[in-house]
Amino acid sequence: MMVNWKETQSQILSGKLSVFEVVSNYIKQCRNIESLNAYIEIFEEEALERAQQLDEKYKNQIHTPGRLFGMVISIKDNLNFKGHSITAGSSILKGYKSIYNATAIQRLLDEDAIIIGRTNCDEFAMGSGTDTSCYGPTRNGDNTTLVPGGSSGGAAVSVQMNTCMLALGSDTGGSVRQPASFCNVIGMKPSYGRISRYGLIAYASSFDQIGLLSKDSNAIAEVLEVIAGHDPYDPTSSPLPFDHYGSESTPEKYNFAYFKASIDHPSLSRESKKLFEGKITELMNEGHSVEAIEFDYLDYLVPTYYILTTAEASSNLSRYDGVRYGHRSTEVTDVESLYKKSRSEGFGTEVKRRIILGTFVLSEGYFDAYYKKAQASRRLIKEAIDNVFTQYDFILMPSTPHPAWTIGSFVNDPVTMYLSDIYTVLANLSGIPAVSIPYDTKSGLGFQVMAAYMQEKKLLHFLNNILIMA
């Protein structure tokens, strides 16, 4: 299967390949990996019909093809695609079909992309292993006994196993970058507000961001440019333009910072630390400046993140009440039992745990002690990060503290699972863009590069350069 976007589109435009052939090959590969449970649904007939229509539309070169003409994309099961089922991996939404397109989906379709299917994810994006889904766990394509990461694990595996050119996921606290690391692909979380969240099922609204996974940095850049930009349906989307990226390599040498505390942290495995230190040496040998700096808030990141996100989740998920849409219990006698039974039957264990925690931190008597302190902590963290970017181009961090774990390992140990987010939640707390890049094709580990707010173009240029040199 071809993983180079520019080469693929060039062959399609030159007539050496048809869109129908490209889509057919990807669908065949989707069928080959069904045992991994990466896809909840493959849009086989629809994707082939759209491919045929696109081939027919442009065969006489009367019309100009869209920028994503021929690109095959998978979407996470929390992005609305009109006329298609969407459940966010939860029984509470089984049977529900979307009545509109998410803004990001509409912009893909407007530029002639083909959506091949919806991918499995942790229920309501709450999890780190894609093992809380009501459809069962997704398996890592490199080792089927291991998790692929989460919550966008299905998206990561869809790219890992060459069933699409690019996948759209969502990243609330690392849900694109962590699975990208475990599956040896590139995973990018743009700045908060860079991409409209309209049509993305909310977990924590001030943290959620649509993210992109691929093996090709040019595909990520092209799709980001298409779907980025202000959206009148989303008041949190940024009016700042995303300038044309271009594919030129740039000769600049950059100033990197990394946190001393991050590589001395007890949760960082020996293998992860060795690889990270090797990457620092490699960057310095290439002429970049890499400096260790102090950062006093590392141990506050995970508590701050989980207090705030669970609070927001408690509020956001209150709409799933068995009345308006989704699962409704039949064994009820009054309105109160309708709410209780519908939610108890529809939500899984992890979602219930986070709703309860979020309700607790928002409750009278605990609001000041937890929620307000977490908000203050978030502000201090953001100020500290903004200050780092006045002196450095990028921040380097490991993507994950340790390699992928065996499926089911953390079922009874959620705290350990939460702590696996220690290196990814920083970007969401501060709203900055970050990308996870594989160290190699074997480790199942990656490193992160973070840039200042709305500096995706700079990040993409570095990404393109480092992959060329690799």
- Strands 255-259, 289-293: pairing is parallel
Contacts of residue 198, Cβ cutoff 8 Å, sequence gap at least 6:
102, 103, 231, 233, 234, 237
- Strands 72-76, 186-189: pairing is unpaired
Q: List the catalytic residue out of 170, 175, 217, 272.
A: 175
* CA proximity to 312, closest of 359, 346, 270: 359
Looking up tokens 């094709």 gives 441
Q: Is 76 a catalytic residue?
A: yes
Per DSSP (E only), the strands in 373-423 are: 394-398
Q: Is 175 a catalytic residue?
A: yes
* CA proximity to 119, closest of 42, 210, 227: 42
Looking up tokens 């705290």 gives 415
Residue 379 structure tokens? 């502000």
- CA quadruple 144, 150, 151, 156: dihedral sign: negative
Per DSSP (E only), the strands in 194-329 are: 210-214, 255-259, 289-293
Q: Using only the alpha carbons of the chain, give its radius of gyration.
A: 21
* CA proximity to 328, closest of 348, 314, 346, 351: 346
Q: Enter the DSSP assignment of 372.
A: I
- How many angstroms separate the Cα of 18 from the Cα of each of 6, 110, 253? 15, 19, 41
Kindly compute the dihedral angle of the four CA atoms of residues 350, 85, 428, 282, in this order, to the nearest 10 degrees.
100
Q: Is 151 a catalytic residue?
A: yes
Q: List the catalytic residue out of 74, 76, 196, 420.
A: 76
C-alpha to C-alpha distance for 352 and 358, rounded to whole angstroms: 10
Assign 408 to helix, strand or coil.
Answer: coil
Examine residue 214 and say whether the peptide bond preceding it is cis (omega within 30 degrees of 0). Answer: no
C-alpha to C-alpha distance for 152 and 76, rounded to whole angstroms: 7
> Exposure string (b/e) for 176-210, b if CB count within 10 Å is 16 or more?
bbbbbbbbbbbbbbbbbbbbbbbbbbbbbebbbbb
C-alpha to C-alpha distance for 276 and 398, rounded to whole angstroms: 6
Residue 53 phi/psi, 5° resolution? -65, -40
C-alpha to C-alpha distance for 231 and 198, rounded to whole angstroms: 8
Determine the residue type at 257.
Answer: A
Q: List the catalytic residue out of 151, 152, 237, 238.
A: 151
| Residues classed as catalytic | 76, 151, 175
